[in-house]
Amino acid sequence: MAEVTTVTGMILSAMPVGEYDRRLVILTKEYGKITVFAKGARKPNSTLIGVTRSFIFGTFEVYRGRESYTMYKASAKEYFENVVNDLNAVCYACYFAEIADYYGRENLDASEMINLLYITLKALGRGAVSHELIRFIYEIRMVAVNGECPDFFTCHECGREDNLYVYSYSRNGLCCKNCATNVYDGITLSGSTVYTLQYIVTAQLNRLYSFTVTKEVQEELRLVVNRLESIVFDKEFKSKEMLNLTI
């Protein structure tokens, strides 16, 4: 057998293969996104049966083959039971995992994405923040982590940092009140929404899901996020259909 190495990460998806095996996609801190085959994981007496499903965070002993890895052992550190026991939360979790899969690459440092996904699933399980608001926060922060987020701190036209007023679709950025007269494809944002956008991209992860917003702010966040999706994502996410979301 090849040399066994230990990785830490999150299982993004698990699919049955053959009669007893599973094919896993794991986002790891050490090697980025990897494909791992768990042989015999679906046998009733397998030690891998309970630790090779989606949303398991833990350590995994694997050895590398030509094009994929094979799992040797696994130790779960977090099962996210409050999420997997709630169908609505599972739908959101699948969507979040699919976005992480979209950005994940082999040999890419995925530590920040793993930490973001981890605290997002914890927030889903707690239920203190609405699932929809968690979605908006997660998407904005994930886009920021991957360097595709608009500048929410300065006017796209003149560079001023105060009186930011409109989110421009074509410019994919904010414009101040003075420059907003030249914007014909944007949405007017309240000061509270601008502050929320700024907070989402800068807050420490342990404080990211520590707030709620008014219905008006949440609706403005929806418009911004839906526009961001159309700009940065070049595919349709299958799991989003389960959420019945309107772009």
- Lowest mean pLDDT: which of 49-63, 163-177, 206-220? 163-177
pLDDT for 1: 56
Bridge-based pairing state of the strands 164-168 and 173-176? antiparallel
CA 165 to chain centre: 28
Question: Cα separation of 106 and 38, whole Å?
Answer: 19
pLDDT for 66: 81
Whether 174 and 182 have beta carbons less than 8 Å apart is answered as: no
> Which band of pLDDT confidence, cut at 50, 70 and 90, is reported for residue 244?
low
The span from the first CA to the last CA of the chain, in angstroms, equals: 49
Whether 14 and 21 have beta carbons less than 8 Å apart is answered as: no
The model's pLDDT over 107-121, given as tens digits with 9 standing for 90+, comes to 999 999 999 999 999
Q: Which residues of 63-81 are buried (b: 16+ CB within 10 A; e: fewer)?
A: eeeeeebbbbebebeeebe
Percent helix, strand and coil across the chain, each rounded to 5? 40, 25, 40
Percentage of residues of the chain with pLDDT beyond 70 = 98
Is domain 4-79 in CATH 3.40.50.1110, yes or no?
Answer: no
pLDDT for 247: 40
Q: Is the pLDDT of residue 246 over 50?
A: no
Residue count (the chain) = 247
> Which band of pLDDT confidence, cut at 50, 70 and 90, is reported for residue 240?
confident
Q: Where are the domains of the chain?
A: 4-79, 87-150+168-243
Percentage of residues of the chain with pLDDT beyond 90 = 82
